[in-house]
Structure 1
Amino acid sequence: MRPVTVYPRGEGAIASARGLVKVYGSGETAVRALDGVDVDFAAGELTAIMGPSGSGKSTLMHCMAGLDTVTDGTVVVGGEDIARMNQRGLTKLRRDKLGFVFQAFNLIPTLTAAENITLPLDIARRPVDRDWFDTVVEAVGLGDRLSHRPSELSGGQQQRVACARALVSRPAVVFADEPTGNLDSRSSGEVLSFLRHSVDVLGQAVVMVTHDPTAASFAHRVLFLADGRLVGEVVNPTTESVLDALREIGAGRRDASAPVAAADELVGGRR
């Protein structure tokens, strides 16, 4: 299947990859998780990444975020080539220019919501921009819960705290890995609406890996991976258009049964 090159529709690329290759192992056991990916992500854009298990979607996010090294190619975030950085440079980049939201909320149980939100800045010994903090807290809709600890918050509220924490340092891009995987449908809707709001109103760039076509429908565009290559894109997606694309991708692979079954599972809401 031919790879595709995907370019941003925003004001410009805030994160880019060119010729991105990631190989795990060596010799006969080598696995080519990414096979020459070219992609741009723009400010003011929420991008969802989808594909069957083993397609390379999490590997792409981890390489773009400097959480994994690349075998070949370039990755540029906020004007810096992270593929050539040492560990110290990567640590600084992740601290200053990247935000992360994971399936597990990763909140500190002994801290309040407000303290969890400002934790990255406190660790970096950077002052909190109170005007921006207030803007993020208003956007996340938890102004009356800031003094509560995680155990006193619902799952959706905890994930919104995690989203606010990712945004409070004004990162170049936020990477979200299955951010609604542990949430019910109502809480998922709250978190996804906030992520979309952070893009539309706050001008954030968000890249989200998901298996859920409903979650993907909140994005401006959805990128599809198969066998380590970008193989499709849906702009202004709906749940139905995402499912159609998944089935089409499945039908184009040698063993169509596995991805088609995966798409059928998504119809039933299973992950």
Structure 2
Amino acid sequence: MTMTDGGAGTSARVAARVRDLTKTYGKGDAMVRALDGVSLDLVAGEFTAIMGPSGSGKSTLMHCCAALDTATSGEVFLGDRELGRLKDKELTRLRRDEIGFVFQSFNLVPTLSAEENIVLPQSIARRKPDREWFDTVIETVGIRDRLSHRPNQLSGGQQQRVAIARALVGRPAIVFADEPTGNLDSQSGAEVLDLLRRSAADHGQTIVMVTHDPVAASYTDRVVFLADGRIVDELRRPDREGVLEVMARMSAPLAADAER
């Protein structure tokens, strides 16, 4: 199944494109096909969720799109650049300058303040952040009164807000979020998801989130479902019930196989 325009029409600008992507591990009888011919467009300014059962290939797909892993075959484009054609230094620069990351485990430097963590990528690149945009991001994530605090002085939700600010402050072309609410309570998780949604809606940020949570997926503009390394369905303007319905439909063949 091929998804090419994200359901948003041919006039929508595409932030990233995946074409016939395959990723295998091992050889012979032990070979595992993590991705099996995936084609997908990620529309600029949209919040997209990637869902699927464990082993469906969702994390592998995100890692290939984010230049953290290399596909066995197929193509990944960020804008007009095909990642497979870039040299190591170019990939490093691309990950630093044009891709933002938000992880389940926050990945903050414990000895740095919140503000120092936020501007760390710019500091490494020896660039000063755009102060006007920095202020906009800080207001959006709501942590101005916590900028001098270190991670151990912040709640989990506040740490994830810092991580999101770090991902946004460099104005990347695309932000990848890997289970960003996995270590948060339900209230903090809802606040983080609302923040990601507003980052897309209000600031035109392109966000791709891997999640297993139907509630988290309901905050997005679009949900793409993977099974056995293939795209099997998608929803636009999803709600929790619609996501659960697709997931139940996907799990029905697995349940039937288990009964045999």
TM-score range, shorter chain: over 0.9
Contact (CA 8 Å) 1:113, 1:150: kept in 2 or not? Answer: yes
Contact (CA 8 Å) 1:4, 1:232: kept in 2 or not? Answer: no
Deviations 1:84-133 (A, max 9, x none): 22222211110011000000011111111111000000001112100010
Structure 1 residue 7 corresponds to structure 2 residue 5: yes
Contact (CA 8 Å) 1:66, 1:83: kept in 2 or not? Answer: no
Deviation at 1:258, TM superposition (A): 8.3
Deviation at 1:6, TM superposition (A): 4.3
In the aligned structure 2, how far is the partner of 1:249 from the partner of 1:241? 13
| 1:257–1:142 distance in 2 versus 1, CA, 3 Å | farther
The TM-score, its normalising length taken from structure 1, stands at 0.91
Contact (CA 8 Å) 1:51, 1:225: kept in 2 or not? Answer: yes
The correspondence of residues 159-238 of structure 1 with structure 2, limited to 5 A, is: 159-238=160-239
Deviation at 1:25, TM superposition (A): 1.2
Tell me whether 84-93 or 72-81 shows the greater mean CA deviation.
Answer: 84-93
Q: Which amino acid aligns with 2:199?
A: S
Equivalenced residues, count: 255
Deviation at 1:79, TM superposition (A): 2.0
Partner of 1:120: helix, strand, or coil? helix
Where does residue 73 of structure 2 map in the other structure? 72
Where do 4+ consecutive residues of structure 1 move more than 4 Å?
Answer: none
Where does residue 149 of structure 2 map in the other structure? 148
Q: Which amino acid aligns with 1:7?
A: D
Deviations 1:38-94 (A, max 9, x none): 101111100000001110000000000010011111100132111222222211110
Contact (CA 8 Å) 1:5, 1:39: kept in 2 or not? Answer: yes
Deviation at 1:227, TM superposition (A): 0.5
Deviations 1:185-234 (A, max 9, x none): 01101110100010001100000000100000000010000010000001
Where does residue 130 of structure 2 map in the other structure? 129
In the aligned structure 1, how far is the partner of 2:200 from the partner of 2:3? 23
Structure 1 residue 244 corresponds to structure 2 residue 242: no
The correspondence of residues 90-109 of structure 1 with structure 2, limited to 5 A, is: 90-109=91-110
In the aligned structure 1, how far is the partner of 2:222 from the partner of 2:58? 15
Q: Provide the identity percentage.
A: 60
Where does residue 255 of structure 2 map in the other structure? 256
Where does residue 29 of structure 1 map in the other structure? 30
Partner of 1:144: helix, strand, or coil? helix
| 1:240–1:96 distance in 2 versus 1, CA, 3 Å | same
In the aligned structure 1, how far is the partner of 2:5 from the partner of 2:146? 39
Partner of 2:119: helix, strand, or coil? helix
Deviation at 1:151, TM superposition (A): 1.0
| 1:107–1:241 distance in 2 versus 1, CA, 3 Å | same
In the aligned structure 2, how far is the partner of 1:105 from the partner of 1:230? 28
Q: Which amino acid aligns with 2:255?
A: A
Q: Which amino acid aligns with 1:32?
A: R
In the aligned structure 2, how far is the partner of 1:30 from the partner of 1:85? 27
Where does residue 85 of structure 2 map in the other structure? 84
Unaligned runs of 5+ in 1: 260-271
In the aligned structure 2, how far is the partner of 1:15 from the partner of 1:212? 24
In the aligned structure 2, how far is the partner of 1:257 from the partner of 1:139? 47
Partner of 1:35: helix, strand, or coil? strand
| 1:93–1:258 distance in 2 versus 1, CA, 3 Å | farther
| 1:207–1:257 distance in 2 versus 1, CA, 3 Å | farther
